[in-house]
Structure 1
Amino acid sequence: MTRIYVILTIFAISMTCLVTALPASGRVHGPQNTQNPPARPRMTTVPTTSSSTTSASQGSNTGGACQDNCPTTPEYNPICGTDGVVYSNPGKLSCARRCGKSVELSHYGPCPSTTTASG
C-alpha cells in the first residue's frame, strides 16, 4: 500500500512539472501588467451650434480659438464661475483659465443667472 502511494505521489509531481514546463498556446511569458491597461486615445469634444448652452468663447473675447481647441470631457457637472458663467464641468472652467480668462470657481452647481458656457 505504501509503495502505491509513493508511486502515485511521484507521478503527480512529475505531471505537474511537465505541464508547467510546456508553453501553452496564448500564454504570456513574463510579468503581466493587469493594473494599467493600454491607454486609449483621448476623446475631445467640440461645442456644436445646436447646444442649449452658449460657449464661453462666444460670450467673451478672451481665448475664443484656444477654448474651441481645448480638450475636455462631455461630463455634465455644472459649476459657477466668478464671472457669473455656468461651466458644464470643472474641465471647461480650467480650459477657460488656461486660455487666459480670469475666472475662479465660485461654487458647484449652476449660477443664479442664466448665462451658461460649454467652454
Structure 2
Amino acid sequence: MANTKRELFLKRRLRVRNKLKASANGRLRLSVHRSSKNISAQLIDDANGVTLAAASTLEKGLGFVGKNNVEASAAVGRAIAERAKAAGIEECFFDRGGFLFHGKIKALADAAREGGLKF
C-alpha cells in the first residue's frame, strides 16, 4: 500500500508529538515549522497553552525575510535561544514535527544548542 508524502508526514508528526507528550513532565516544547519560503520556531508551554518566545525568518531584524536556507535556519536557532535565555528558559523538548532531522531542521537545533538551550 503506497502512502503519499503528506500521509507519511502526518504519521511522523503524530508519532513525534505523542512521544513528547508521554514524557513531557511540564517541560516546554520548542516547535519548528518549515515552509517553502520561511522557517519558524516557538517555545510553547502546553500546560497553559501559551507561546513564551518565537523567532522566524519573517522578522526583518534577522535579515532573512523570505529565505529558507541553512544559514537562515541557524539564525532563527540563535534568536530563539537568545529569547529563551531572556525569558529564563534553559531546558525544553525539541519538536521537529513531521520534518526529518536533517539539513535546515538540524541547523536550527544545533544553533539553539550552541545558544544555550538544552534538549
TM-score (norm 2): 0.24
Q: Higher RCO, 1 or 2 (CA under 8 Å, sep at least 6)?
A: 2
Q: Name the structure with the higher helix share.
A: 2
Bigger Rg, which one: 1
Query: What is the TM-score of this pair, normalised by structure 1?
Result: 0.24
